Amino acid sequence: MIIKRNPIVLIRFFAAIEVAAFGLYLFATVLDEYKQRFYDFLPVSDFFSYSTFKFPFLSFLQFLITVYAFLRWYYEYYSIRPDSVSHHWGIIFRKKETVPLDKTLGVSVFYGFIGNMLRYGNLHLKNESTGQEMTITDVSRPQELLETIEANLNPSPAFSPADPHRLLKENEHERLEFKSSFRFDHKTGNVNRELEKTIMKTIAAFLNSKGGHIVIGVDDNKNPVGLAKDYKTLSRANSDAFENHFTNIFNNMIGPEFRHKVDVSFHGGQEKEICIVQALASERPVYLKHDDNEYFYIRTGNASTALKLSEIEKYSRTRFKAPVEEK
């Protein structure tokens, strides 16, 4: 896909030239006597008077500026490929900047005051794995462009088969997090409901962002420690009771209407069994309910970040198709 900048950039450029020209005109009126003296030194002064030469010279200069502005706009574009986004610019000396498209890419949309009215804005891209950043400036309908980029990042809306071997080879990132347990605190040896809240917070952030996986039952070195101690805190010490308890917590803290967006699967032997929770990106805002309050989380790198009320409205406007008020 080839994306051109909105023609508003040409209007802005010409407006800036007109302002600069007016300033030069005012400055030139002060130096009117010196302009004539300077012109008398030029070879053309023998053939044309200053007043005769001034009009065609200024017209030609304006023509050159117009051609330069158009060519600069014409030869600048953004290209979106399945694996990268590139910025191309330059008239004579061509330049190119590329940001890889992968699961660690973060994309955000920004509108200015005029952009809100004329439906153009900027997209900021940051690849967490490489640290590369790019801002796609002054493009029409940036929300549609955002959806195109995200479609390349996550082309399938269905659950993908959980692959524990592949996940355990990766480090935590925007779409992956590791937990040692769901509710059993290995430090205190007791049930800790804050652990359940932490996992639900991560799931809510996945739902509000681009989806992701949580692997439960591995230590800090990503070695499986199993869910046996979690199982012992339940009425029945097995994976069915674990998933039932998970669903009850999920329904209370996030809501049963989003349960179809989350898949729970178990892998490995009984002693070292782990749980993989996969969450798909939601089409509507998801709020975490806790202590009679509601919190809104998104993924920023390998962390789940709470947004303020003003930030939620702005994020929801660019991220979700549904109105902000819907939950």
What is the per-residue pLDDT for 113? 83
Domain membership flag for residue 146: yes
What is the per-residue pLDDT for 30? 67
Number of compact structural domains in the chain: 3
What is the per-residue pLDDT for 48? 74
What is the per-residue pLDDT for 317? 84
Domain shared by 197 and 104, yes or no: no
How many Cβ atoms sit within 10 Å of the Cβ of residue 38? 12
Going 111 to 16 to 73 to 81, the CA torsion angle's sign is negative
pLDDT in tens, the chain (327 residues): 888 998 888 888 888 888 888 887 777 676 666 666 666 777 777 777 766 777 787 788 888 988 988 999 999 999 888 778 899 999 999 999 998 887 778 888 888 888 888 888 998 888 887 888 999 999 988 887 887 777 677 655 577 788 899 999 999 999 999 999 999 999 999 999 999 999 999 999 999 999 999 999 999 899 999 999 999 999 999 999 999 999 999 999 999 999 999 999 999 876 789 999 999 999 899 999 998 899 999 999 999 999 998 899 889 888 885 443 333
Strand partners, 212: 279
The angle, 0 to 180 degrees and rounded to 10, between the axes of the packed helices 32-40 and 50-74 is 90
Domain shared by 60 and 206, yes or no: no
What is the per-residue pLDDT for 12? 87
Domain membership flag for residue 324: no
Domain membership flag for residue 29: yes
**Residue 248, φ and ψ in degrees, nearest 5:** -60, -45
Rg (CA), the chain: 29
Domain shared by 308 and 170, yes or no: yes
Domain membership flag for residue 80: no
Domain membership flag for residue 10: yes
Domain membership flag for residue 251: yes
- Determine how β-strand 105-110 pairs with β-strand 95-100: unpaired
Domain around 273: 164-319
Q: Residue 298's domain is classified under what CATH number?
A: 3.30.950.30
Nearest to 35 by CA among 63, 58, 16, 59: 58
Domain membership flag for residue 169: yes
What is the per-residue pLDDT for 321? 59
User: Is 13 buried (19+), middle (13-18) or exposed (0-12) by CB count in 10 A?
Assistant: middle
What is the per-residue pLDDT for 118? 83
What is the per-residue pLDDT for 32? 65
Going 111 to 114 to 118 to 120, the CA torsion angle's sign is negative
Domain shared by 168 and 142, yes or no: no
